[in-house]
A and B are shown apart, each in its own frame.
Chain A
Amino acid sequence: MNMIDIVLQLADGMMVTIMIFMLTLIFSLPLGLIVTTGRMSKNYLLQAVVKVYISIMRGTPLMLQLLVVYYGPYYLFGCKLSPEYRGIAVIIGFSINYAAYFAEIFRSGISSMPAGQYEAAKILGYNKFQTFIFIILPQVIKRILPAITNEVITLVKDTSLAFSIAYSEMFSGAKALAASEKSMLPFVVAAIFYYIFNFAVATVMELFEDKLSYYEI
């Protein structure tokens, strides 16, 4: 089996990996923002609940969280697990895990904003929502972009953990192929794939950073 055959064999898996990546970002970024709101809330109960959530998400392995999300409904509630649920569990597991990390990044960005920006907005008559959306958030995004890039790159590599609940993305395909062909080559292809994927991610993020470099904070 040559490289091209391996790439063709793994093509479907690659699409699945890219899909896990995209869907996780789509769900975890807004969710992270919501979690931050809870984390920074003046309601101590809500704050405490969110703190515990973040602490668990960061304190336990993502692989274990995936297993809990996937098998939990069966062991806890006796639900029958449909095959479709496997993919959903992967997205839920990744999203709630990454939301916790993103929430902390958002929080660091938001609390680094000088009080003067809020005060100026208040004096000019912006309401709280307008202040956050138009004045604070754009500046926060600029501040946290490098940290977000780090997380997104980690996510590309973490997608391989989906194999722990036997979800067939690219990496599980490569493993199976390596075993059946008794060859290292599928792993080489996998490595090249992740590398190119991350290179693209880094390039795109750099583009965003460049786009926001028109001003200094």
Chain B
Amino acid sequence: MCVLEMKHIKKSFDGNEILKDISFRVNEGDVVSIIGPSGSGKSTLLRCATFLETIDDGELLYLGKKVVESDGKKAIYADKNSVKKAMECFGLVFQNFNLFPHYSVLKNIIDAPIRVQKRNKEEVIKEARELLKKMGLEGREDAYPCQLSGGQQQRVSIARALALKPQILFFDEPTSALDPELTIEILKVIKELAKEKMTMVIVTHEMDFAKNVSSKMIFMDKGFIVEETTPEEMFNSKNQRTMEFLGKYKNVN
């Protein structure tokens, strides 16, 4: 089943075209990594998919339902309710976590399921404790975000996203604010989720990890998708630009 589909997405900021014509799809169980140089539009693409930015032109579908249509010139968003429904399909993990600092770890995780989804409190708390255990944060539920390391904060934010039971989880450079040790913590968690067949789209600069964890890789440059293929093929690509980007990366290693 196709969870997310984006067709001919275009996005500019003040006449500066960031996304020029992006089309791709994510099927259930896919782990898609998006790589590419800074400024290539990776994060913007993710922000367009998650309604944090409005798309200028193109189509956006969640679970086969059209949320954004194109009239050939510009994007037309569906009604409020359809957008709300679509937003319930996904979760997003931010680069700088964006936890709520005034809420404890537990409250960060349970507040949205209780307040927004109106679910049973006891049940949500039970699930949240299980999620914390899975994230290796047992016993930290009463801590506040400021008392946690960056890696722990990011794991809480992953738990917070998972508590809403999304069908697809987006990661916007989830390890860019972390040192190498903490990065490994997060990558382990994501790998664990991949094993459980969680559908994920990950914007990342961690090439080894992307190669390791993804079922599909997308290489973006200057607002276009240069290549979209399996990790093996990506790393053996004959495409000039891909070789340049990955080649530079290989040289350092």
Partner of A217, one of B84, B87, B101, B115: B101
The A-B contact count (CB < 8 A) is: 56
Are A124 and B160 touching (Cβ within 8 A)? yes
Question: Given contacts A125-B87, A125-B164, are A119 and B52 in contact (CB under 8 A)?
Answer: yes
Are A122 and B52 touching (Cβ within 8 A)? yes
| Interface segment, one of B21-29, B92-100, B188-196, B210-218 | B92-100
Indicate with 1 or 0, residue by residue over A67-83, a CB within 8 angstroms of chain B CB atoms.
00000000000000000
Residues from chain B with Cβ under 8 Å of A138 in the complex: 102
Where chain A touches its partner, the secondary structure class is helix
Greatest chain B CB density within 10 A among A122, A124, A125, A135 is at A124
Are B88 and A125 touching (Cβ within 8 A)? yes
A134 within 8 A of partner (CB): yes
Which residues in window 159-178 of B have CB below 8 A to A?
A: 160-161, 164
Partner of A126, one of B92, B99, B112, B146: B112
Residues from chain A with Cβ under 8 Å of B117 in the complex: 125
Which residues in window 67-117 of A have CB below 8 A to B?
A: 114, 116-117
Are A124 and B116 touching (Cβ within 8 A)? yes
**A136 CB → nearest B CB, Å:** 10
Residues from chain B with Cβ under 8 Å of A134 in the complex: 111, 115
A210 within 8 A of partner (CB): no
A130 within 8 A of partner (CB): yes
A1 within 8 A of partner (CB): no
Number of residues on chain A facing chain B (CB within 8 A): 20
Greatest chain B CB density within 10 A among A114, A120, A214 is at A120
The distance in angstroms between the C-alpha atoms of A146 and B145, with both chains bound, is: 23
Which residues in window 140-199 of A have CB below 8 A to B?
A: 142
Residues from chain A with Cβ under 8 Å of B84 in the complex: 125
The distance in angstroms between the C-alpha atoms of A114 and B95, with both chains bound, is: 14
The distance in angstroms between the C-alpha atoms of A117 and B52, with both chains bound, is: 12
**B62 CB → nearest A CB, Å:** 14
Which residues in window 62-98 of B have CB below 8 A to A?
A: 84, 87-88, 90-92, 94, 96, 98
Which residues in window 178-209 of B have CB below 8 A to A?
A: none
Where chain B touches its partner, the secondary structure class is loop
Partner of B144, one of A114, A117, A124, A215: A215
The distance in angstroms between the C-alpha atoms of A125 and B99, with both chains bound, is: 14
Are A214 and B52 touching (Cβ within 8 A)? no
Question: Given contacts A120-B94, A139-B101, are A215 and B145 in contact (CB under 8 A)?
Answer: yes
**A209 CB → nearest B CB, Å:** 14
Chain A residue, CB-CB nearest to B50 = A123
Greatest chain B CB density within 10 A among A138, A142, A215 is at A215
Question: Given contacts A122-B51, A124-B160, A125-B164, are A215 and B116 in contact (CB under 8 A)?
Answer: no
Residues from chain A with Cβ under 8 Å of B50 in the complex: 123
Are B51 and A135 touching (Cβ within 8 A)? no
A5 within 8 A of partner (CB): no
The distance in angstroms between the C-alpha atoms of A138 and B102, with both chains bound, is: 8
The distance in angstroms between the C-alpha atoms of A138 and B117, with both chains bound, is: 22
Indicate with 1 or 0, residue by residue over B122-159, a CB within 8 angstroms of chain A CB atoms.
00000000000000000000001110000000000000
The distance in angstroms between the C-alpha atoms of A126 and B88, with both chains bound, is: 11
Are B96 and A117 touching (Cβ within 8 A)? no
The distance in angstroms between the C-alpha atoms of A122 and B164, with both chains bound, is: 13
Are B112 and A125 touching (Cβ within 8 A)? yes
Greatest chain A CB density within 10 A among B87, B100, B146, B161 is at B100
The distance in angstroms between the C-alpha atoms of A125 and B52, with both chains bound, is: 12
Indicate with 1 or 0, residue by residue over B31-59, a CB within 8 angstroms of chain A CB atoms.
00000000000000000001110000000
Those 7 A-B pairs whose CB atoms lie nearest each other, nearest first: A120-B98, A116-B98, A216-B146, A124-B112, A125-B116, A215-B144, A123-B92
Q: List 7 A-B contacts (CB under 8 A).
A: A117-B98, A123-B92, A125-B164, A126-B115, A134-B111, A215-B146, A216-B101
Chain A contacts to B: CB under 8 angstroms:
114, 116-117, 119-120, 122-126, 130, 134-135, 138-139, 142, 214-217
Q: Beyond A120-B98, A216-B144, list 12 extra A-B contacts (CB 8 Å).
A: A117-B98, A122-B51, A123-B87, A125-B88, A125-B116, A126-B112, A130-B116, A139-B102, A142-B102, A214-B144, A215-B146, A216-B146
